[in-house]
C-alpha cells in the first residue's frame, strides 16, 4: 500500500515541476525500495541519538549516501519534544544496565541535568547507540521484507488476471 502511494506521488507533475524549478537531484526524492529503506535506516539511526539539530545531521549525510531525503527527515521527527524524555530515559536505563553502573534518580529540570551531566552522559549514549542500531536495522530489514512481499503479491495477482 505504501509502495503504491509512493509510486503515485513520484509520478506527480507538481513534484516533477518542483524538482525542475529548484534543480534538486532526483535521487533525493526517489521512491524505490533501496532509497526509501536507506532513508528509514538513516533517519531512525539519527532520531535515537540525543543531539540538537538532528535534521541538519540528515542533510549532512546527503552528499555521502543516496536516500529519499523527505522520508529520512520524517523519521527524525520520531524524537520530538513530546517523545524525547521517555526515549532518552529508556536509553539511559538501558545504557546503565549494559555498563553495570548505578542508576541516578532523574529529575526533569535543567539544574539537575547540568549538575549530573557527567554521570549520565556515557550510559545515555551507550543506550542511544544500542537503540539506534537495533531499531534502525530492524526497520530497514522489515521495510525491505514487506516491500518485496508486496511486489511478489502484486505480480501473482497480475498473473492471475492475465490468465
Cell of 128: 542511544
Nearest Cα residue to 129 out of 45, 67, 61: 45
pLDDT tens profile 118-162: 888 999 999 999 999 999 999 999 999 999 998 888 888 877 777
**How is the chain split into domains, by residue range?**
2-162
Q: What is the pTM of this model?
A: 0.82
- Specify the pLDDT at position 118: 85
Spatial separation of the C-alpha atoms in residues 54 and 77, rounded to whole Å: 9
Spatial contact of 122 and 99, defined as CB atoms under 8 Å apart: yes
Where does residue 49 rank: exposed (0-12), middle (13-18), buried (19+ CB within 10 A)?
A: middle
Amino acid at each position: 500500500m505504501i509502495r503504491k502511494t509512493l509510486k503515485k506521488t513520484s509520478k506527480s507533475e507538481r513534484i516533477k515541476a518542483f524538482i525542475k524549478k529548484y534543480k534538486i537531484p532526483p535521487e533525493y526524492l526517489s521512491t524505490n525500495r533501496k532509497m526509501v529503506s536507506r532513508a528509514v535506516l538513516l533517519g531512525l539511526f539519527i532520531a535515537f541519538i540525543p543531539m540538537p539539530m538532528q535534521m541538519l545531521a540528515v542533510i549532512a549525510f546527503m552528499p555521502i549516501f543516496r536516500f529519499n531525503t523527505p522520508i529520512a527527515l520524517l523519521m527524525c521527527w520520531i524524537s520530538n519534544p513530546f517523545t524525547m524524555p521517555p526515549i532518552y530515559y529508556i536509553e539511559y536505563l538501558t545504557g546503565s544496565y549494559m555498563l553495570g553502573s548505578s542508576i541516578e534518580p532523574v529529575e526533569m529540570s535543567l539544574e539537575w541535568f547540568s549538575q549530573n551531566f557527567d554521570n549520565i552522559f556515557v550510559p545515555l549514549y551507550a543506550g542511544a547507540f544500542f537503540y539506534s542500531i537495533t531499531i534502525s536495522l530492524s526497520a530497514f530489514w522489515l521495510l525491505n521484507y514487506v516491500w518485496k512481499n508486496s511486489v511478489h503479491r502484486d505480480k501473482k495477482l497480475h498473473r492471475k488476471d492475465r490468465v
